[in-house]
Each structure stands twice: as C-alpha cells, then as structure tokens.
Amino acid sequence: MPPDTPSHAAGRLDDDDYPAYTMGRAAEMIGATPGFLRAIGEARLITPLRSEGGHRRYSRYQLRIAARARELVDGGTPVEAACRIVILEDQLEEALRLNEELRLNEERRGRAG
C-alpha cells in the first residue's frame, strides 16, 4: 500500500472499502479472534488486502460482513455454512436493489412515453 499524505489518508477513512484496520483491531471491533478472521478468509468470505509488510488489512465493509458471519457462528452455525449464508444474503440484497432500479427506470420510461 503506498503511503498517504495525512490529509489524503484522513479522507480515505470515510471510504467503506479502504483497508484501514489491522487484524487485531478488526477482531477487537467485531468481538472475534484473529483466528476467526483467518477462518472466514480461508472460506473466501472476505479477502483482506495486505500491507507492504504482508499484514492483513480490513475495510469497514469487510468488518460488517465478518460481524454478520460471527452472529451466525455465535448462534451455532458452522463457519463454512455461515460464510455461505452471508454470501447468499449479499447476493439477494444486490438482486433486490437491481430489481428496484429496473422497476423505477421502467416507470420513468412509461411516464415519458
């Protein structure tokens, strides 16, 4: 990761996809262990970026996904199954969003024509 100037780096903290958190801090933020983050990484739920030194770095978006997986695991769901559920939930949310966008576009075209 190239170094950021202080003002540029501060602006990036508002970016949900900016890998701002170390593994230890990320685990602390979601109430999990670094081992849990490694496990969901191995299950390909999230793929953290790596710093120049090779350390895992997580974004806020990835932490939201990890927190949802942790909820499921805490409820008794195996890690692999929790990861699959979260992936399917994410796909469903995206499909619903696209459907709504298409519906609104059709309505606009109907009013214009």
Identify the band that residue 112 occupies on the pLDDT scale cut at 50, 70 and 90: confident
Q: Give the alpha-carbon dihedral of 79, 82, 86, 92, to 10 degrees.
A: 150
Model-level pTM greater than 0.75?
yes
Model confidence at 6, in pLDDT bands (50, 70, 90)?
Answer: low
Q: Which tokens is 66 given?
A: 């990890």
Q: What is the pLDDT of residue 91?
A: 96
Question: In this model, does residue 35 exceed pLDDT 50?
Answer: yes
Q: Distances from the Cα of 109 to the Cαs of 77, 101, 103, 105, in angstroms? A: 45, 12, 10, 6
**Percentage of the residues of the chain whose pLDDT score is greater than 90:** 79
The contacts of residue 8 (CB under 8 Å, 6+ apart) are: none
- Write the pLDDT tens digit of every residue in 58-69: 999 999 999 999
Averaged pLDDT, 34-48: 95
